[in-house]
Amino acid sequence: MKITQALKMAAKSISANKGRSALTMLGVIIGLAAVIILVSYAQGQNMAMQKYYESLGENKLTVYASTFEGGLDVSEELANYCRRLSDCVAGFTPMGEAMGQINIKYGFQTMDQSDYETMPSFYFGNEQFGLCNNYTIAKGRELSSMDVREYNQVCVLGAATASTLFGMIDPIGKTVSISGQPFTVIGVYKAKGNGTTQYDEDGENWQEVEMTRMDRIVVMPYTLTRTLNNNQPVDRYIVKAVDSSSAKRAASLIKAFLSGIIDPNYGWCDVTNEGVWQEEENEANRLQQMFLGGIAAISLLVGGVGIMNIMLVTVTERTREIGIRKAIGAERRSIIAQFLIEAAMICGIGGVIGIGVGYLGTLIVGKLAFGLVLIPGAGITAGAFAISVALGIIFGMYPAAKASRLQPVDALRAD
């Protein structure tokens, strides 16, 4: 039997039982759409996290150094050491953060710690703060080494801070009040927030909050910690490595250097390579993607069982037809091919519809969950269609083999 003839017979059989065929396809449609949506969701989550880490900056080391009495400040020593590591270190900045009820005012606008959703973060850094934390200047300039050395009361604002305080006014050169002290705005960073949303287990879009918080910052020379931070020493630093391989070497060297100048009986130090966290997060996302895909695949198995069931019913209904065909010389392989093609066609049509539903569902989920336009990749689409056709062949094999084994005499006696 020619393949075209088998296709025509399969199409005729499907169209003759439209309702039954549609219900059979439903299991495949739901299963395939679930696979596409869940796998795409996992990919979207991975993309969102990747953008989040990119916004933080790549190849970063977070360095902690402190004593139990809180009297250690190794900023200058660590800075000088990092300069000697120019082959693997691209930048260094203290990362002090203001404690207590600190606020910033301009005119009638005030930003303080009273509202978590709008409160700014106050940091103390040096001229390489932007480089180390992946900020770029949109207006004005970055802090300079002279600002640090001369204790200049200047600041650089994040995009959200500048927008809240100044609106459409150019903030460069304006004087703001930080905890009652005058500071001159010398620069504004470009916005980092990108509208990405990541929901946590409580349903709160924590990543959207975190991304906008990155733009609600105020950066001042770290030498001002004495006057603005109750004389608290800086105990956190950011080191920007040249590349990922250099980050591992820099982390090892800096840890050894700090261990040599800090007595473990009176203080502690630690160096964290944030690239390790990114790798672990990527691995976790990959495992989650496999897990979600596995859960959705169960729906496909259920759909496959439905295909097998309906094909067995079809074999029973067409027993006399099979007997006639075998009586006039039809081979077993032609009988098998006929039923396999019919099962594959049912699954293929269901697969195309399932892919369409999966695309629509992915667009909706991507917009609601991540604020992104998610589109399933070509590989997922092609793989989904191939799986749907393979499903028909695999689960149609037993009914097709059963039909091919029917004896003509017995088949012709069937009612």
What backbone torsions phi and psi does residue 97 show, to the nearest 5 degrees? -125, 135
Strands 89-94 and 267-273, sheet pairing: unpaired
Q: How far apart (Å, rounded) are the C-alpha atoms in residues 158 and 133?
A: 12
Closest of 45, 31, 44 to residue 385, by C-alpha: 31
Which residues, including other chains, have CB under 8 Å from residue 186's CB and lie 6 or more apart?
140, 141, 143, 147, 154, 155, 156, 172, 173
pLDDT digits (tens, 9 = 90+) for 158-211: 999 999 999 889 999 999 999 889 999 999 999 886 544 443 444 444 444 455
Q: How far apart (Å, rounded) are the C-alpha atoms in residues 69 and 266?
A: 8
Q: How far apart (Å, rounded) are the C-alpha atoms in residues 189 and 24?
A: 57
* Model confidence, pTM: 0.61
C-alpha distance from residue 287 to each of 51, 199, 294, 377, 383 (Å): 19, 19, 10, 18, 19
- pLDDT 10s digit of each residue in the chain, 415 long? 567 776 777 777 777 778 888 888 888 888 888 888 888 887 777 777 666 665 555 688 889 988 776 555 678 888 889 989 989 998 999 998 887 788 999 988 989 877 777 789 999 999 999 998 889 999 999 999 999 999 999 999 999 999 999 988 999 999 999 988 999 999 999 988 654 444 344 444 444 445 577 889 999 999 998 788 777 778 899 999 888 778 888 888 998 998 888 888 878 888 888 765 566 666 676 777 677 767 767 777 777 888 888 888 887 777 777 777 777 777 777 888 888 888 888 888 888 898 899 889 888 888 887 777 788 878 778 887 888 888 888 888 888 888 887 777 666 666 5
For the chain, domain boundaries: 3-50+290-413, 57-281
- Owner of token pair 């393949």: 3
Chain mean position to CA 184: 38
